[in-house]
Amino acid sequence: MESRPDPTLEPLVLAAKAGDQKAFGEIVRKLMNPVMALTYRMTGDRDVASDLAQETFVTAWEELSHFRGQSSVKSWVWRIAANRSLNYLESLSRRRTHELTNISEDIAAPGNIHRELEQDELRRGVLAFMSTLPPQQRLVFELRFYQQMSFEEISQAMDRALGTVKTLYREAIGKLRAHAKQSGWRS
Amino acid sequence: MTCNEYQDRLAECLGQPELPADLAAHVSDCTDCASVWEELKQIGGHLGSDSAFYPEPHEAELVAQVVEREIRAAEHGAKVIRPHWWTRVAQVAAAAVVIVGAVTVTWKFTHQPGTGGDTATSSQFADTSQFSAQDDTEELSSDVIRLLLYDVSTTDNFRASEVLLNDISDEEAAYLRTSLKAGDLL
């Protein structure tokens, strides 16, 4: 992720840091899709994903003056979104209210019916798998597989040891293989 | 390095475009590890890409607009109420309440049992038993409906929603979320 910075974002970041809300609005629109995809996979719920994406960008605006450009703005925003998602999942598991059924209801909601069935099936399968992972493991899987981050970047972003991050990922892959077998993915 | 160790490293490479050279060399020589890598690639195909999870364009735009409003409001020292899912449910509920009320009032003004006229008197309003015998599917004019829907759906007007939310417990909100559809109300 760090190796593929978007050059069109940098001037927008400079303008936004100077207080240009319009420039920040452009950043929001450029990053909204991937941020919402991340929060959706992490939570399995479109509405919660929207709320977390909102919070992510509002926090980014509030903290923009502290952004020193040591990482790309993308990975900085990703980190905020990932932390928000993780906090949400951890508070949820404390309340023990998160159930897999929420995910299937969300996917089958009337607003999503027009989406092509194949994509729905893919999303349903992924969200069902991800919901089986504990929050930290889910985040490592998300950052590694979908965000294509290196283990070093993940270790830095999560403030966890490199070995721990690799172990979390390998364990997630072990569960993924079992899930794939159970779901008939390995045809 | 043993095959187990190679397979651990293969697992770490799931989703990566290329294998490191030493791993690639081993996979080309070892049928067991080649079969594990083949399996992982197949599984990877079922995980889709990041874009498979993108929201609909209008959803993304809606969230972007809310963010912009929040930022503007923060700059002016005001607090904006975010349209969380329960706010949206409350908006629909508020729309239903307003529309049902308006339908009732309109019906009262436009129906005079026995006379068939278009005007109503206060004595006729008092005779509520007449309503039960009437068809309750009378339609509002499209202009009235449009105005009502506009009023409750405009993002700057949350007063009706706020009043409703004061009386909604977490349990009730959870119930509404799982069971309420806009079509049930409207």
CATH for A82: 1.10.1740.10
Distance between CA atoms of A56 and A52, rounded to whole angstroms?
Answer: 6
CA angle A125, A128, A129 (to 5 degrees): 85
Q: pLDDT tens, A18-68?
A: 999 999 999 999 999 999 999 999 999 999 999 999 999 999 999 998 888
Question: Burial, B71: exposed, middle or buried (Cβ in 10 Å; 0-12, 13-18, 19+)?
Answer: buried
Cβ B67–A170 below 8 Å, yes or no? Answer: no
Mean pLDDT is lowest, of A75-89, B29-43, B140-154, for B140-154
Distance between CA atoms of A84 and A90, rounded to whole angstroms?
Answer: 10
> Could you tell me where the DSSP H helices lie in chain B?
3-12, 21-29, 31-45, 57-75, 85-110, 122-126, 129-132, 142-153, 159-165, 170-179, 182-185
B95 in Cβ contact with B149 (< 8 Å):
yes
Q: Is residue A83 part of a domain?
A: yes
> A85 is in which domain, residue-wise?
1-98
Distance from CA of B106 to the nearest CA of A (A): 32
> Domain spans of chain B?
3-50, 83-185
Q: Does residue B82 belong to the interface with chain A, where contact is any CB pair within 8 Å? A: yes
Q: Does residue B84 belong to the interface with chain A, where contact is any CB pair within 8 Å? A: yes
Cβ A147–B14 below 8 Å, yes or no? Answer: no
Distance between CA atoms of A56 and A36, rounded to whole angstroms?
Answer: 10
Please give the mean pLDDT across all residues of chain B: 71
Q: Is residue A64 part of a domain?
A: yes
Q: Is residue A19 part of a domain?
A: yes
Q: Is residue A126 part of a domain?
A: no
Cβ B67–A54 below 8 Å, yes or no? Answer: yes
What residues of B are in contact with residue A54 (Cβ under 8 Å)? 63, 66-67, 70, 82
Q: What residue type is assigned to position B28 of the chain?
A: S
Cβ A110–B181 below 8 Å, yes or no? Answer: yes
Question: Measured between alpha carbons, how far apart are the two ends of chain B, in Å?
Answer: 66
Please give the mean pLDDT across all residues of chain A: 84
For residue A172, which of B11, B46, B52 has the smallest C-alpha distance?
Answer: B11
B83 in Cβ contact with B155 (< 8 Å):
yes
Q: Is residue A89 part of a domain?
A: yes
Q: Is residue A28 part of a domain?
A: yes
Domain count, chain A: 1
**pLDDT tops 90 at residue B54:** yes
What residues of B are in contact with residue A187 (Cβ under 8 Å)? 42
Half-sphere exposure (CA, 13 Å, Cβ side) for A177?
17
Mean pLDDT is lowest, of A85-99, B88-102, B114-128, for B114-128
Model ipTM?
A: 0.80
- B183 is written with which tokens? 């079509």
Q: Is residue A128 part of a domain?
A: no
Q: Is residue A23 part of a domain?
A: yes
